[in-house]
């Protein structure tokens, strides 16, 4: 091989590229796509703006590269696969808590997703490699739900995507809307004590929903079309 790994070369395409991506991710996450400045990103790296264009061709392509990197790092959700040996109730709770931790640990990613939604996900659509990202989690949830219904633990017929949405919504909101929530309610959802309580709460929530007896006062969770 012609690539001496640990020799710390002065010129190192991979390192430069990686450094640009890293800085760009922070900047885009903090300022949004339009708000981030190419010059600023360049200034925060050890290299120059020239290199950004050398490796990524332009601002938009850099942004897409950042999205792809962020998404690929986040693929580690698939480690959640090992919840399936647990009993259904414990499995879904653990999955919820893993999702919670996952969102907590990838705040830049959350912001990038928010930014993408503001732009109607136009960039995500320009990149392939992203479509099948949801698949694995849904498989896990499906199997947990099936097991739960079989064992009688889960009393409601729930759709896997809905359940995933319910869990994600809770975890995503806590991180994404942290600042306006604090401004309006004076509560910092990121503070350790709240964090711990909310982590339990998301598990309790899904479990209660899936195991709950039909709620009084209206049609039960197993809803027909109204």
Partner DNA sequence: AAACTAACGTACTAGTTCGTACATTCACGG
Partner DNA sequence: CCGTGAATGTACGAACTAGTACGTTAGTTT
For DNA, the binding residues (CB under 7 A) are 2-4, 9-13, 15-16, 36-39, 46-51, 53-54, 58-60
* Min CB(62)–DNA separation in Å: 8
Out of 44, 51, 64, 166, the only residue in the binding site for a copy of itself (CB under 8 A) is 166
The answer to whether the CB of 36 falls within 8 A of the CB of 24 is yes
Q: Is there binding between residue 221 and a copy of itself (CB under 8 A)?
A: yes
The answer to whether the CB of 91 falls within 8 A of the CB of 149 is no
What six digits make up the tokens of 142? 């499906």
Out of 20, 42, 83, 198, the only residue in the binding site for a copy of itself (CB under 8 A) is 198
Burial 88-116 (b: 16+ CB within 10 A, else e): bbebbbbbbbbbbebbbebebbbbbbebb
Query: Interface with a copy of itself by CB under 8 A: which range of 2-10, 13-21, 58-66, 186-194?
Result: 186-194
Distance CA 17, CA 65 (A): 11
Q: Is there binding between residue 2 and a copy of itself (CB under 8 A)?
A: no
3 state DSSP class of 55: helix
DSSP 75: G
Q: Is there binding between residue 191 and a copy of itself (CB under 8 A)?
A: no
* Min CB(38)–DNA separation in Å: 4
* Min CB(186)–DNA separation in Å: 31
* Min CB(63)–a copy of itself separation in Å: 12
The angle that helices 88-105 and 192-211 make with each other, rounded to 10 degrees, is 150
Distance CA 66, CA 29 (A): 10
* Closest by Cα among 189, 183, 162 to 100: 189
**Binding mask 77-106 vs a copy of itself (x if CB under 8 A, - otherwise)?**
----------x-xx--x-------------
* Min CB(95)–a copy of itself separation in Å: 12
């Amino acid at each position: 091989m012609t690539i001496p790994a640990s020799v710390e070369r002065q010129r190192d395409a991979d390192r430069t590229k990686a450094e640009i991506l890293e800085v760009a991710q922070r900047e885009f996450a903090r300022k949004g796509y339009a708000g981030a400045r190419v010059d600023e990103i360049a200034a925060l790296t050890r290299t120059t703006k020239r290199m950004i264009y050398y490796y990524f061709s332009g601002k938009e392509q850099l942004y897409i590269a950042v999205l792809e990197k962020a998404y690929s790092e986040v693929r580690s959700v698939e480690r959640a696969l090992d919840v399936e040996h647990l009993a259904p109730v414990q499995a879904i709770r653990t999955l919820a808590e893993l999702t919670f931790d996952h969102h907590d640990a990838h705040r830049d990613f959350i912001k990038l997703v928010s930014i993408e939604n503001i732009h109607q996900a136009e960039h995500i659509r320009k990149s392939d490699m992203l479509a099948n990202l949801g698949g694995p989690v849904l498989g896990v949830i499906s199997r947990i739900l099936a097991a739960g219904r079989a064992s009688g633990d889960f009393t409601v017929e729930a759709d896997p995507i809905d359940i995933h949405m319910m869990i994600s919504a809770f975890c995503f909101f806590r991180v994404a809307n942290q600042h306006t929530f604090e401004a309006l309610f004076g509560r910092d959802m990121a503070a350790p004590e709240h964090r711990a309580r909310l982590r339990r709460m998301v598990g309790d929530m899904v479990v209660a929903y899936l195991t709950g007896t039909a709620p009084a006062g209206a049609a039960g969770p197993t809803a027909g079309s109204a």
